[in-house]
Amino acid sequence: MATHPAIQITGIKQPLKLVQVPTPEPRQNEVRVRIEWVPSAPLDVYQVDAGLMVQFPQGLGDSGVGTVVAIGPGVEHLRVGDQVFGFFFHNEKEKGQQIYVTAPEHLFGKVPPNMPLAAVATVPTNFCTAFLTLSDKLGLELPWPRSTDFLPQNQHTPILIWGAATSVGQFAVQILKHWGYTNIIATASSKHHEKIKKHGAKHPRHSHPRFRLRDLKSGSLQHIAKIATLPGSIVAAVLPVVIRPPSHKEGVQLSADVNGEASWVPGVQVHSVVSYTFEANAFLRDHLFPEIVPALLESGAIEPNQYREIEGESLLQRASTALDTLRSGAVSGERLVWRVWTKEEYPQYK
């Protein structure tokens, strides 16, 4: 079987490795995509530094942007040569940080004309997380297609986006604005207020007045539990809960126990969010990436995140530099993106 280069992790806090992995032929409804741009994500750090959801050795990455180079039987919407973005995560052949990803067609969408691939790389995982959280966990109306005269029944209900300058937070605010929700309260550093107001937040806040800045950086859910006190309130928290960030001197500490990380008032509904479960919703599985995301990007209803390109002379250097930069805790309000395939480094993979 043919092979191609891939980034691999071999143990907790061990350096990344560049290895050769098999290049499978696309099966029924699958496409093979040459990955050209990927974003680095906090999950990369959690997997390398804490072994979260890892069986070593293992690849890294769950999204990317590139070009379709082969299609399997039954593929209906994509063709060789299409530029696509995707969110893929089932197995090793779908890890994003490798030259070729082979995955089901429904996990991909076409890149809109004239949109930079690096910008689109910021979208797939975190847009999915935001959309799943708002629709499935919070139960908000996000019909598709959205008619021009659609108004949600609870359009004026206050919706708090904690961490609105994060990638997921920015997409959540934009989604809510597009579907007509008007009472969006958003917390973010003051330097990001203008951005999130542009995205649709009506009430940007540096923090709730009852909490100090160090409370916001603690990583726990305790401050949310002190705000969401009315019976009937709904809280959705993206897993994992970060108790200590990777930049902490004692290292990262994570939790999957949303209910146990705070003292919730009786009557408050608390949900955990794992974006990898989005396929359990048949409508999202079939329409989110093939239809919804490309249409929102092309219309301008959703803007990609601001990004910073991580450069390096080799694939391994770019991957390692991006991981170290993200681990440092110095990234705020932007995504780190970097090239996987380049014709200069890998001319043989076309």
In a domain, 211, yes or no: yes
Q: Which amino acid, residue 124?
A: P
Number of domains forming the structure of the chain: 2
pLDDT attached to residue 51: 95
Residue 110 within any structural domain of the chain: yes
Q: How confident is the model at residue 218 (pLDDT cuts 50, 70, 90)?
A: very low
130 in the same domain as 116: no
Residue 111, helix vs strand vs coil: coil
Task: Give the model's confidence band at 190: pLDDT under 50 very low, under 70 low, under 90 confident, else very high.
Answer: confident
Give the dihedral of Cα atoms 251, 255, 259, 264; nearest 10 deg: 10
Across the chain, where does the E strand assignment appear? 3-9, 17-22, 30-40, 58-59, 63-71, 83-87, 100-104, 108-110, 159-162, 184-187, 203-205, 234-238, 241-244, 253-255, 269-273, 307-309, 335-339
On whether both 80 and 179 belong to a single domain, the answer is no
Give the pLDDT of residue 261: 87
Domain match, 116 and 159 both: no
Is residue 350 assigned to a domain?
no
> In this structure, are strands 3-9 and 58-59 parallel, antiparallel, or unpaired?
antiparallel
Q: What is the per-residue pLDDT for 223?
A: 76
* Residue 42 structural domain: 3-122+306-339
Domain-embedded: residue 295: no
Out of 12-26, 122-136, 156-170, pick the least confident: 156-170
pLDDT tens digit sequence for 101-126: 999 999 999 999 999 999 999 999 99
In three-state secondary structure terms, 66 is strand
Task: Clarify whether residues 266 and 312 are in a common domain.
Answer: no
The residue among 276, 291, 319 that closes a domain is: 276
Percent pLDDT > 90 in the chain is 80
Residues 264 and 136 in one domain: yes
Question: Do 46 and 178 fall within a single domain?
Answer: no
Q: Can you tell me the mean pLDDT for 320-346?
A: 96
Does the structure show a pLDDT above 50 at 209? Answer: no
SS3 call for 232 = coil
In a domain? residue 192:
yes
The CATH number of the domain holding residue 38 is: 3.90.180.10
| Residue 293, domain member (yes or no) | no
* Cα gap 36→24, rounded to integer Å: 18
Contact 14, 320 (CB under 8 A): no
On whether both 110 and 250 belong to a single domain, the answer is: no
- The answer to whether the beta carbons of residues 270 and 241 sit under 8 Å apart is no
Average pLDDT over residues 183-188: 91
Indicate if 165 and 206 belong to the same structural domain: yes
- pLDDT-derived band at 158 (thresholds 50, 70, 90) equals very high
Give per-residue pLDDT as tens, 239-269: 998 888 888 888 899 999 999 888 999 999 9
Residue bearing tokens 């999950």: 43
Asked if residue 290 belongs to a domain, the reply is: no
- What pLDDT, on a 0 to 100 scale, did the predictor assign at position 215? 41
Q: What is the pLDDT of residue 250?
A: 86
Say yes or no: 137 and 92 in one domain. Answer: no
Task: For residues 220-234, give the mean pLDDT.
Answer: 84
Decide if 245 contacts 219 (C-beta within 8 A). Answer: yes
Mean pLDDT of 210-224: 53
- One domain for residues 113 and 133: no
Higher pLDDT among residues 206 and 207, named by residue: 206
Residue 344 lies in a domain: no
Which of 260, 276, 292 finishes a domain?
A: 276
Same domain, 118 and 132: no
255 and 154, same structural domain? yes
pLDDT digits (tens, 9 = 90+) for 31-81: 999 999 999 999 999 999 999 999 999 999 999 999 999 999 999 999 999
Please report which confidence band the pLDDT of residue 212 belongs to, taking 50, 70 and 90 as the band edges.
very low
Chain centroid offset of residue 314 CA: 25
Looking at residue 247, its pLDDT comes to 86
Residues 6+ apart with CB under 8 A from 134: 140, 142, 172, 175, 176
Q: At what angle are helices 42-50 and 315-327 packed, to 10 degrees?
A: 90
> What CATH number is given to the structural domain containing 243?
3.40.50.720
d(CA 102, CA 35): 10
How many CB atoms within 10 Å of residue 271?
15
